[in-house]
Structure 1
Amino acid sequence: MLHLTLRQLKVFEAVARHLSYSRAARELHLTQPAVSMQIKLLEENLGLPLFEQLGKKIFLTEAGREMYRYSKTIAEQLAEAESVFAELKGMERGNLKISVASTANYFATQLLASFRQTHPRVTVNLDVTNREALLGQLEHNQIDLAVMGQPPDGHDLIAESFMENPLVVIAAPDNPLAGQKHIPVSRLADETLIVREAGSGTRSASERFFQTHQIAPRTGLVMNTNEAIKQAVQAGMGLAVVSLHTVSLELETKRLALLDVEFFPIQRYWFVVHRKNKRLSATAQAFKQFLLDEGKAAVTG
């Protein structure tokens, strides 16, 4: 008979997911020796090694792979049970774990503020991250909902659009193109673009657009934040394709210029996303419905 503790399973799941004792320790706010001790106790209870070390890296053994599959299932069932019991108590004191793509952070706080006006006792845990990390959080069932651009196929997700996300071309106010009307899209082939990192939804959408129109602008800089891109464009280092939601303040104060380019804006959408098999708590369901019903008005109103 196995004598396992939930603490041991939680620690094991984190180590197996990261394949790192140190990263698991940071995530769980434990010391690395404490993590190692929990794994050692679990292996002693099972009578089998769960990890093997080759050089400086650790890998799951066959027993480890089996335990990882069970530990994920148990963690998901416990999270579901927690949601069910919270729902039975009512959602006045519910918890909401939500992650948003970094571009969506420009309006996420407005959405949450509007939601909490009618649900003031809900505790919100908000994480702002990049697209790759956000998809990982969904895959590992670490969050209730995500707000992001169109998620890729094949991730077993439910995604529903709630607001437009137009992509526009921006330039420094003194750029020769600023103020011109009906700029041919082919003109961008002569320009240098500042882009987000590979995997970014905005970058992927703009690359598809340029391929469709058979244009290949030069890539001058690759940056992993919208703020860095805006600063670089403002300094005259190139143009950028960004979400209109990220530059409203700079356009209003004329620190950046919106270019009137043919076929722009590229029309995309914001989606509220969760795992297909996830049983949403009453709080998460209420926030999802709020986005679908009132998301656009909460940002623009």
Structure 2
Amino acid sequence: METFLAVAEERSFSRAASRLHRTQPAVSQAIAKLEGEIGEVLFDRSSRDGTLTDAGEVLREYAAKMLNLRSEASGALTELRSLHRGRLNLAANEYTSLYLLPLLDEFRRQNPRIKLAVQRTLASRIPDEVLIHSVEFGVLSFRPDDSQIRSIVVYRDDLVLVVNPRHPLAGAGKVSIRQLGSQNFIAHNIPSPQRQKVIQTFKKHKTPLQMGVELPSLEAIKRFVEMGNGVALVPRLTAVPELASGTLVMLEVPELQTERKLRLVYRRQANLSHAAAAFLKVVESYAASHGDPYSFQPDRGA
């Protein structure tokens, strides 16, 4: 098409050959091959000035569009490589989204033209979303079993017991699990491995676990505890603002010291997009500059 347009614009096979730095026989051969493929004569050979036939005039318009599209595509890919455009899709649940916020802030500072989309997804579904290419990254509080998924530990967190500042236990600092047998727990209504561990720990210590209220979000749980309706076990990350402001008080429960490791997961065989590769670098550099509880530790075998 490029050769065809050159001949049409120069109105001469010899001038087109000079412009393209090719021999005239090579240009003539390219045009003959094109005519053979489409089954039409494109140039009036009886004319000395390379006049186009009707078929040539029709093809000229499309040829120009095709070469313009090629140029646009090349430019778009250059912009993509330079991170001047692109999109990054991630999956997280209500809790793990909080870990992402400072990283997304840093990523946007470095790459303001990349569009970010974090979809809220149940943790149990995130591995599937990663594998079916719905998202490039997911954030989980457990290591997925699927060998097709690569896992990197990126944050260390733990469960904390929170109470209202006016709660009778608020000033204790530390309580035993047996002291909690009479307390009303405000719990999340979505089953999780962490919830099951807590239930098993209470059983192990022969202490009743009274979950009198179940709510659909961690925000709702914290607000209900602030109102004085009971106690709750929540990830420390989710309670940072309330603990800092004093609207909630944290108590240590030695028997319930449960570390949670947040993991960034993605497809093991993935060819990461330019935006995704840049995000991974931000995660690593952020951990290096901020230290604990941030980290960048690929799981063994990951």
Identify whether the pair has TM-score above 0.5, normalized to the shorter chain.
Answer: yes
The answer for the alignment partner of 1:259 in structure 2 is 251
Output the TM-score relative to the length of structure 2. 0.63
Contact 2:90–2:137 (CA<8 Å) still a contact in 1? yes
Residue 196 of structure 2 corresponds to residue 196 of structure 1: no
Q: Which structure 1 residue ranges, 5 or more long, are not aligned?
A: 1-84
Q: Secondary structure at the match of 2:230?
A: coil
Match of 1:143 among 135, 138, 158: 135
**Distance in structure 2 (CA, Å) of the matches to 1:246 and 1:156:** 30
For residues 98 and 299 of structure 1, do their structure 2 counterparts lie closer, same or farther at Cα, with a shift above 3 Å needed?
farther
- 2:148 aligned to 139, 149, 156, which one? 156
Alignment correspondent of 2:104? 112
For normalisation by structure 1, the TM-score amounts to 0.63
Q: Name the aligned partner's letter for residue 190 of structure 2.
A: A
| SS class of match (2:95) | helix
Return the offset for 1:138. 2.2
1:218 has 2:214 as partner: no
Report the alpha carbon displacement of residue 88 of structure 1 after superposing the two structures with TM. 9.3
SS in structure 2 of the partner of residue 246 of structure 1: helix
Shift of residue 293 of structure 1?
3.5
Q: Distance in 2 between matches of 1:89 and 1:200?
A: 39
How far off its partner does 1:246 sit? 0.9
> Which residue of the partner structure matches residue 48 of structure 1?
none
59, 75, 90: which one aligns with 2:81: 90
- Kindly tell me: are residues 293 and 263 of structure 1, through their superposed partners in 2, closer, same or farther at Cα, counting changes over 3 Å? farther
Whose Rg is larger? 2
Give yes or no for the alignment of 1:123 onto 2:115. Answer: yes
Does the CA-based 8 Å contact 1:148-1:273 persist in structure 2? yes
Identify which range, 143-152 or 128-137, moves more after superposition.
128-137
Instruction: Count matched residues.
Output: 218
Which residue does the alignment assign to 2:298? none
Q: Which residue of 2 aligns with 1:177?
A: 169
Deviation at 1:247, TM superposition (A): 1.1
Report deviation, 1:209.
4.2
Mapping of 1:41-56 within 5 angstroms?
Answer: none
Are 1:248 and 2:240 counterparts?
Answer: yes
Q: In terms of mean alpha carbon deviation, does 96-105 or 206-215 score higher?
A: 206-215
Q: What do the CA deviations read for 1:28-48 (whole angstroms, capped 9, x no partner)?
A: xxxxxxxxxxxxxxxxxxxxx
Residue range with higher mean Cα deviation, 226-235 or 102-111: 102-111
Match of 1:74 in 2: none
Change (3 A) 1:282 1:252: same
- Between the two proteins, what is the percent identity of the paired residues? 23
Q: Deviation per CA, 1:170-205, whole angstroms, max 9, x where unpaired?
A: 111111111103311222222222222333354245
For 1:257 and 1:128, locate their aligned partners in 2 and report how far apart those are by CA, in whole Å.
Answer: 28
Change (3 A) 1:126 1:197: same
Indicate how the Cα distance of structure 1 residues 89 and 182 shifts in structure 2: closer, same or farther if over 3 A, else same: closer
Runs of 5+ consecutive residues of structure 2 not aligned to the other structure: 1-75, 295-302
Paired residues of 1:107 and 1:299 also in contact (CA < 8 A) = no
After TM superposition, give the deviation of residue 243 of structure 1 in Å: 0.9
Q: Return the offset for 1:94.
A: 2.8
Contact 1:161 1:292 in 2 (8 A): no
User: Which residue matches 2:223?
Assistant: 231
Structure 1 residues 209 and 293: CA distance shift in structure 2, 3 A: farther
RMSD, matched Cα: 3.0
Task: Determine if contact 1:202/1:241 at 8 Å carries over to the other structure.
Answer: no
Residues 292/195 of structure 1: CA separation in 2 closer, same or farther (3 Å cut): farther
After TM superposition, the structure 1 stretch with the greater mean CA deviation from structure 2, 166-175 or 115-124, is 115-124
Amino acid at match of 1:123: K
Other-structure match for 2:277: 285
Deviations 1:70-97 (A, max 9, x none): xxxxxxxxxxxxxxx9599415123211
The answer for the alignment partner of 1:273 in structure 2 is 265
Change beyond 3 A, Cα 1:183–1:121: same
- Using the alignment, how far apart are the partners of 1:217 and 1:207 within structure 2? 7
Deviation of 1:145 after TM superposition, in Å, equals: 0.2
Q: Secondary structure at the match of 2:173?
A: coil
Matches of 1:98 and 1:266, distance apart in 2: 26
SS in 2 for 1:247: helix
